[in-house]
Structures are given as C-alpha cells and as structure tokens.
Structure 1
Amino acid sequence: MSLVLQSAPQRSPHERSLLTILRDGGPTSRTGLSEITGLSPTTISKVVAGLVAEGLVTESVVGVKGVGRPAVTLTPVDSAVTVLGVQIGAGTVTVGIGDAGYAVRHTESFTFDVGAPADAVCDLAARALEKLVAAHDGAPVIGIGVGLPGPVDRDRRRLKISVRLGWRDVPIADELERRLGLPVVADHNVRTMALAEARHGHKDVGDVAYLYVRTGVGLGIAVRGQAFYGGSGGESYLGHTRVVEDGELCSCGSRGCLDTVVSEPAVREALGRLGDTGAAPGREEVLARLHDLARSGSRDAVAYEDTYVNVLAGALSGVVNLFTPDLVLLGGILATAPPQIVTSLRERTRDRIFPLLRDDLRVEQADPGDAALVRAATATALETLHFA
C-alpha cells in the first residue's frame, strides 16, 4: 500500500533565494540579505518572518550594532527539511534520506536483474522509500531526487534511454509521484554526483569534473556550484569517444569506444585473458587484481595496466583542456583503485594538458560509499525544490 505523504509547502522565489544565500554565505543579517538581493528591508523582513515561523531559519543576537541596537543574524536550520534520494544503476538501486545540509541519515541498497522492466524497478524503489518514510519521524519531506543511468529530458522527469538496462522513454518522475505523492526531480546520475560534491564535499572548489567508471564511463560537470547541461538531455558521452581504431564492438554500435577499454566489464575480460586465478573480485576490486598481477611480474599485466592508464589519461586530458576544472574526482571502480594507478593517471593527465593548467589541477578519488550516492540524488532535488 502506498503512503500519502504531506510535503512541505512550495517555496516562493524570494524564500528560495534567501535560503540559498544563507546556505552559501553562512549566517547573515537582514541588512546583509537586503544588500545582496536588492530587495527592500520590508520585503526581507516579511520573507524572513515566514521562514522563521516554519522553523527553516533561526535568529541569533551576536552583538550590538550602533548604540543599543542588537545585531541579529539568520542561520538556516538544515534538519527542518527532509529529502529522499534514489540512485538507479545497472542492476543496483540505492535509496536514503537526507536534509538541507546534504547530510545523509540512512541508506539502503539492493540489486535487480538488469533485464527487469522499468516499472518493476520503480515499484521496488517506491516500496523501499515507503519503508524508510514510515520509520521517519522528522521534518516534512519536500520531494525526491533520482539519479539515472542515462540522459533525461529537459524537464528532468523522463529517462530518455538506458542502453545497458534496455529502457527507453521511462516516465520515472510520474511513476514515483503516483506511488508516493511527492514531487520528483530526475537527472543523469553522474551529474548529480558532480553537483553534490560542488555543494557539499568540495565547496571551496570552483569547478568540478566527476569521472565515473563502472559498466561504462560517465562524466558530470559542475561549474561554480551549478550542474552543467549541454544539449540533447545534457549527458556527456565521453565513454563513446573512439580510442581504438577497429576496436571492440560497443553497446552504442561503434567500435573502439572508451567504454570497451576501461569499463569494469572490459577489465574483468582482460583479467581472464591474463590468467587471473585469484578469488572472484568484488565490484570495486578489479583494478586491485590487475595491479596485483602486474606486481607479480606478469609482463602482459604490466602492459595492459599501462595501456589502461594511458587511454584513460588521454580521455581525461581532453575533459580538463575543454572545461578546465579545478578538481577531477574519480568514482566507480576508480574510487577504490590502488594508489599507484591513481598517481599514474594523475601524472599522465597533467603531462597531456595545457601547461598553465598543470599546477592547479587536482585529481582525487571520490567517496565510494552509499551515502555519497544518496547525497548526490538529494542534491538535485534540493536545487530544484528548496534552493534557488
């Protein structure tokens, strides 16, 4: 049985603007808000009064401004907002609960047959969310953010296509809204990861590029804290850049795509050819197994690891030269890759980019945990439903 949930009231543009300023700039006075927004003190006071009444903002006296006049600052109350997050991957679903401060309170994950129809997976996700909310006794839920393994429409409601899942034109937002009675915002999964890192994990960084390698290669970009969208759904197709002439057949129909060289399935296939006789590696251990083989003295493994890093560095250098991010985060199987592989990838990428970019570029491993996945999904809902 579906729960009917009461969501928080829809925010006005002024309310969302003030909440965004307080999130990004920290505690601020009414005068400061007026100066930043250009709104009149009367309008600011009216909007603030509503936010305080809802418990979204608290007031604190921090000193005296002038003669006998207390200086009052306003601080957002992150726990006054609850948001749900869903990340759907190729055979996996991760769900959880977060708040307006991008904190994640609870996560759950489960697997599904990659041949399962979209409505069946939506139903599984909805039931998992219902269970979480049934046990939740905190602030009102304002909505649901969903990360999807493929391009979405411009309204961020439909998955246009997922080659690996065999889904096409899936009305994911409609399906979850029908089951849960809450507004839903959907987006490309790796773009949600880049956005969350720019908003929470690396707020000090201007631009973030998130490279995610799993069943394929995904790329998300956040520019000055905002998710970057291109045309035709906005998803990057970095994984379908040709890197080997007349190479392996890719799921997209072309040959020699980056996906066919550096994805997890490609590495697993290579491990088999290299005679890997170790225990079956877990999802995140394929690069560790490869590196172990290389260190054991296998010349073929050394050559394959070298090719792997070279090809990936070539693709990543193109991203850096085009978007000039301050930080590149490595997710998926790269998030738990051996330090030697990450160091080599970082150095070879720097060798290939414009010299003026080399000193400032950071290449780091991303948080591989479920909380990071849920935070990414909640971030896209918060941006649309709560902040400006």
Structure 2
Amino acid sequence: MTLLEPTRHRGPYEGMVLKILRDEGPTSRTRLSAITGLSPTTITKTVAPLIELGLLTERADEYGGLGRPAISLVPVPEALTVAGVQLGVGKYRVGLTDARSQVRSRIVSTFDPSLPAEEVMNLIAADVRSLLTADSGPACIGIGVGAPGPVDLARRTNIRSVNLGWSDVPISDLLEDRLGIPVVVDHNVRSLALGEARYGGHDAESLAYLYVRTGVGLGVAVKGEPFYGGHGTGGESYIGHTRVVEDGRPCSCGARGCLDTVVSEPSIAARLAELGDPLPPDANVMSEMRARARRDPAVAELEDTVIDQLVRSMAIIVNLFTPELLLVGGSLSSAPAEVIARLREGTRERIFPLLRDSLRVEPADGSDDALIRGAAAIALEVLHYS
C-alpha cells in the first residue's frame, strides 16, 4: 500500500466540504453553497476531484414534485485509510481505519519501557508496515499518534513523557523516515476525547475524558473541537501533577503529593503491597481493590481516599469546562459499577447545582479499537477534514 495521491494538491476548500458532509450527512451542492458562502461554481470545482477519487459519490434524492430531483453528495468513508497509533507505557496499539475512524485491522504490542525512543519507533513502524502490506483497502494518507505527555505546537514532537523518560522525541520525523507517510502527533488523552466526540456516537456537544492508568491525563472536546492550552506546547493538561496531599509521596515529576501518587495504578498497587496484600501481575486494579475493600477495613479506607480524590478532580473539571459528558477511562473503564456510581454521585454533589441534572458520568470504551480510533482521529482531523 502506498500514499494516496502523494503529489496531488488539495483544493483550499476540500477539508471544509468533507467536514460538513461528515457532520451533516448527504448534502446538495446548493446547500453546501449556502452553508459555506462559496459560489456554486467553486463548490463544483471543489467536489469534482473528490468524486473522481471516490471519496464522494452522488445520489438522487427522492422527490415527489415537478422538475428534477435534487442530487446530494454522499461521503464514502471506506475510500480512505488512515493509521492510528496509541502509545502507552510499555504497550502500544496500531490499527487501520476509514474516514469515520472505524477500525478494520489492528496489532497490540508490548515493549520494554526502558528502550530508547528510536527503538520503540522501529517496532511501531514495523507493525504499521505489516498492517499496510496485508491490507487490501485504499492507500493510507497518514498516521495519527497519541503520545503520553505534551507535544509541540506543530504536533510533531513529544516534548516530554515522564513515565517513559523521553524528552524532545521527534516522533513524526522518525516514523516518516521509516514509512514515507505523513505523521501527526498529539497528546494521547486529548486524542481519545477527540475520537469519542467525533466518532463515539455520544449525544453530547462537549465532553471531557479523564484517563487513569500509569498516570492521570485529561482531554476535553468543546463542541467537537479538541481543547488546547498554552505555555508554548500542544496544551496538555497536567491534572495528574496537581498537588492534592501536602508533603505527600514523591511523584515522577519531581514534586510531592500529586494526584498521580494517590490514584494511579502503580500508586494503588504500592499501597496494597504495603498493606500486605500485593496484586498479582496484570490485575484489574480497581476491581481488586473493591473486592479486598469488602473484607479489609484498611483497603476500604484506601479505596475511599482514591475515590474522594478522583471526585474532587472530576468536580473541578466539570465546573471549569461544563461538559455534558465526563468519560472515565483507563483503569476506570472496567471499574466495578459500585465505583462508577460513587464517582458519579460524588461528582454531582460537588459541582455547581445548575450542572447536576445535565451531567453524565460514564465509563469510557476501553477496547483496543476505541483507543486506536482516537489516534486515527488526529490524522483525519489534520490531513483530511482540515
């Protein structure tokens, strides 16, 4: 499989038209002209190459009156391929998707977190190449990478990943050199929020995504658009490095008492080990803690502390960003229903009263495909719909 039309110059309005058709569904040229303010001639010139490439098709709408029926332009999601790479600490997921970020093939691989970044990129490139070689679909136009930690404003370099020990890793350059395909990089949890907002089927204009695993990350999509902060980076939220315990335990960031040191999987596992009840390898941390809390008051106290700190953080997120939907992912995706219920009710109790009735708190889809979908959404947003 090769890059789709590598030398083709995209028209200035293609992304805008494709985005409208994605969000609105089949739409006539006349309606597109009204929405965009572009002339009918410009719309025709814009869509002609897209029809030729098979990215759009035409459909005669049902019409019971006189004259000709309207002709609608219909997107063809399966006429496009993008790759998504969701990178975690010691594990990554690679998949191929269509223009609706629907995953059709995937590889899940583990790696030694102490490996140099270039060696990890070699592994990822090999798996992407393997999927592309076996795939019979259309050519791949780009790769989206969800990376742990902040990225640069150009969305090419992972500035720092505390839990991997990486600094200034040019992920786009490394993968483009190996694969010859454009690569877009973004913060991993923001990519998950974007994927759920665009393609998750949620009835919510705005959502927040709180991810708890090795650390704590936050992504926000406001009216479907990913939220970016400042400080000269790609705007990652540092909620996991908010101090919640004075003189608390040391954090990987160099501070003490951060949220990560209370609610992350390694922190909970360490506390359970100190209580004389260590977790087995690959245990479901939240489920194990819930089961042990039923019989051990000390573990029940630990669980109360974890839930309380999560609720406090979730309430701050809701009061700041006012999302209609707050998804909790990572280890919380498969947390027991009792834990989710406590998080939901605790958050509602702490937020501004006018927000309580409209807020939904739900576990996120923690499947491999959902994580890949988020990474692929980055590439789609920048390379296809922009």
TM over 0.5: yes
Residue 254 (str. 1) matches residue 268 (str. 2): no
Amino acid at match of 1:5: T
Which residue does the alignment assign to 1:216? 215
Cα shift readout 1:315-352 (whole Å, capped 9, x = no counterpart) = 11111111111111111101011110110011111111
Deviation, structure 1 residue 277: 6.2
Shift of 1:253: 1.1
Identity %: 55
Note closer, same or farther for the CA distance 1:182–1:242 as it changes in structure 2 (3 Å cut). same
Deviation at 1:301?
A: 1.4
Distance in 2, Cα, partners of 1:276 & 1:10? 61
- Distance in 2 (alpha carbons) for counterparts of 1:106 and 1:136: 8
Q: Could you tell me how far 1:281 is from its partner in structure 2?
A: 5.0
In 2, the alpha carbon distance for the partners of 1:339 and 1:66 equals 54
**Corresponding residue for 2:93?**
94
TM-score, normalised via structure 2 length: 0.96
Distance 2:217 2:114 in 1: 21
Partner SS state of residue 335, structure 1: coil
More displaced 10-residue stretch of structure 1: 134-143 or 41-50: 41-50
Q: Cα distance, 1:88 vs. partner?
A: 1.1
Shift of residue 10, structure 1, vs aligned partner? 5.0
Contact residue 197 and residue 203 of structure 1 kept, 8 A: yes
**Partner deviation per Cα, 1:116-137 (whole Å, 9 max, x = no partner):** 0000000000001011101112
Matches within 5 A, 1:152-167: 152-167=151-166
How far did residue 203 of structure 1 move?
4.7
1:143-169 deviations in whole A, cap 9, x for unaligned? 000010010000000010111111111
Partner of 2:318: 320
Q: Which residue of 2 aligns with 1:311?
A: 309
Cα distance in 2 for partners of 1:259, 1:314 equals: 14
Whole-angstrom distance in 1 between the partners of 2:242 and 2:95: 34
Which one is further off, 62-71 or 338-347?
Answer: 62-71
User: Which residue pairs with 1:24 in the alignment?
Assistant: 23
The one-letter amino acid paired with 2:3 is: Q
The correspondence of residues 181-200 of structure 1 with structure 2, limited to 5 A, is 181-200=180-199
- Gap regions ≥5 residues in structure 1: none
The answer on 1:118 being equivalent to 2:117 is yes
Aligned counterparts of 2:63 and 2:348: Cα–Cα separation in 1? 51
The secondary structure found in structure 1 opposite 2:333 is helix
Question: Which of 286, 299, 302 matches 2:300?
Answer: 302
Alpha-carbon spacing, 1:277–1:229, altered in 2? closer, same or farther (3 Å): closer
Question: What TM-score, normalized to structure 1?
Answer: 0.96
User: What SS does the corresponding residue of 1:64 show, helix, strand or coil?
Assistant: coil
Counterpart position of 2:227:
228
Residue aligning to 2:57: 58
Work out the CA distance in 2 between the residues paired with 1:368 and 1:42: 45
Q: Which amino acid aligns with 2:148?
A: P
Q: After the TM superposition, list the runs of 4 or more consecutive aligned residues in structure 1 that deviate by more than 6 angstroms.
A: none
Report 1:33-52 matches (<5 A). Answer: 33-52=32-51
User: Are the counterparts in 1 of residues 269 and 278 from structure 2 also a CA contact under 8 Å?
Assistant: no
- Residues of 2 paired with 1:203 and 1:270: CA distance? 36
- Counterpart in the other structure of 2:177: 178
SS of alignment partner, residue 89 of structure 2: coil
Q: Distance in 2 between matches of 1:10 and 1:329?
A: 39
Map 1:273-284 onto structure 2 (within 5 A). Answer: 273-276=274-277, 280=280, 282-283=282-283
CA distance in 2, matches of 1:202, 1:254: 39
Q: CA deviation at 1:65?
A: 7.6
Q: CA deviation at 1:228?
A: 0.5
Kindly tell me: are residues 134 and 29 of structure 1, through their superposed partners in 2, closer, same or farther at Cα, counting changes over 3 Å?
Answer: same
Query: CA distance change for structure 1 residues 57 and 364 in 2, over 3 Å: closer, same or farther?
Result: same
Structure 2 match to 1:365: 363
Match of 1:337 among 332, 335, 338: 335
Q: Which runs of 5+ in 2 are unaligned?
A: none
Q: Deviations over 1:271-315 (max 9, x none)?
A: 21333267x1525x111111101122x111111111111111001
Aligned residues between the structures: 382
What is the deviation of 1:15?
Answer: 1.1
CA contact (8 A) 2:151 2:185 kept: yes
